[in-house]
Amino acid sequence: MDFNFPAEDDPRRQDVRRWFEANPSPTYKQIAQRGFSAANWPAPWGIGADAEMMLIIEEEFARAGIRQPSAFNPIAVNQCGQSLLTWGTEAQRQELLPPALACEHKWCMLFSEPSGGSDVGGLRTQARRVGDHYIVNGQKIWNSSADEADIGVLIARTDNSVPKHQGLSQFIIDMKSPGITVRGIEDMTGEEHEYCEVFFEDVRVPADRLLGKEGDGWRITMEQLQTERQSMTKPGAVWGAGPTARELVNGLIQTGKIRQPLVRDEAARLYIEGELLRLLSLRNLSNKINGKPAGIEGNIGKMMASPHGQRMTDLAKRTQGVAGMVKDKDVLPLPAKEYGRFTDWDYAYWFSPATTLGVGTQEILKNTVAERVLGLPRDSDPSARMPFNQTTAPRAAA
């Protein structure tokens, strides 16, 4: 890594700090108007911040004790909103981006399907063009915050006659549209559910809500997922967020659990893993500073971070003995920080099994790294070259 952290007296830092001091309790709309919601975006949406400036802004948000818009409305601000700058029309940008950056409209992703498993390319939700609308029918599942969302980023099949990846298109849809039904999926955390399933029955989507052109859906979606995976290359317990291995070790020291030799060895391994993830996140920052685009290596970071978090939360609960088997938000002491849903070890533990499934399963990520990073032979997938309507025909007919 070839950069130094911006100093306390850096003029850029002082400028940001003065704004937060003048606006001690800013609304997200004020933050968006100042250009801090997505500071790396060009004006008028952001301030065209480089990677160092982004680091300064992130640190000053933390110093001011304010949750960043990218944490409150991640799908819009971090994963998908930027796609409108590249693929969207000016009308789409003017209508959709201001309320998204101001966190007035929450967004959700509508990608995974019950029948597709980890193969997003095999999705079956249909979007059929009829005049100036598309008619959407199908089902999505494991959609974070779909019950709270105003806007959905939907990938659907618009052409069955071409290979599966070529017939997909992406839409920005109104989640209050007639024909959309959202059901929460209760999980074992016992807290407010994270995931939902979404049903579409003859939902009318205006044709001007198509993002890019018909057939661009796979490419747009992969760009969005890559951005999401790279953001997870951090040392937190749940997808890069939440308590870290450093905080786990501090909690074990405070409670005296670190005196147990096996616990100490396990904690040391986790500490080393956390430092590797921290350094990988700094490497990503260095690449941005040097103008290198996000690459496929984001899969490696996510592939490491998810099981690391599972092992951390497991040790945090296990060291409590019988007490760790019940709900207890004070499993290990933590500093007073805002982690959103994952503010305590307990919730992070119960949620952690999802982390090696969501945003690409470990198996899919390992294949991707093997084939596209290490150059190993690719898995055979004859369906990738067949028209999709042939791959879904009855086996007897084939």
pLDDT > 80? residue 244: yes
Please state the pTM of the whole predicted model: 0.83
pLDDT > 70? residue 117: no
Q: What is the pLDDT of residues 127-170, one digit of tens each?
A: 999 999 999 999 999 888 899 999 999 999 999 999 888 999 99
Which residues of the chain form CATH 1.10.540.10?
A: 11-101
pLDDT at 274: 92
* 37-58 mean pLDDT: 89
Alpha-carbon distance of 231 to 55, in angstroms, equals: 13
DSSP single-letter state for residue 240: B
Q: What is the pLDDT of residues 189-201, one digit of tens each?
A: 777 777 899 999 9
CATH of domain 11-101: 1.10.540.10
What tokens appear for 74 in the block? Answer: 């991640």
Work out the angle between the directed axes of helices 51-64 and 261-289 (0-180°, nearest 10).
Answer: 130
Which residues of the chain form CATH 1.20.140?
A: 232-360
Torsion of CA 155, 158, 160, 161, to 10 degrees: -130
- pLDDT band for 341, please (50, 70, 90 cuts): low
Q: Which CATH class is domain 232-360?
A: mainly alpha
- pLDDT band for 396, please (50, 70, 90 cuts): very low
Higher per-residue pLDDT: 379 or 3: 379
Instruction: List alpha helices for the chain, DSSP H.
Output: 11-22, 28-34, 51-64, 69-72, 74, 83-87, 90-101, 217-231, 245-255, 261-289, 298-318, 345-351, 362-372, 388-391
Q: What is the pLDDT of residues 209-243, one digit of tens each?
A: 999 999 999 999 888 877 777 666 778 888 777 88
Highest mean pLDDT among 53-62, 232-241, 364-373: 53-62
Alpha-carbon distance of 357 to 185, in angstroms, equals: 15
Q: What is the pLDDT of residues 262-294, one digit of tens each?
A: 999 999 999 999 999 888 887 776 666 565 655
Instruction: Report the run of H or E that residue 181 belongs to, with start and end.
Output: strand 180-185
pLDDT at 349: 86
Work out the angle between the directed axes of helices 245-255 and 298-318 (0-180°, nearest 10).
Answer: 10
Helix (H, G, I), strand (E, B) or coil at 56: helix
Nearest to 345 by CA among 207, 259, 230, 243: 243
DSSP single-letter state for residue 343: S
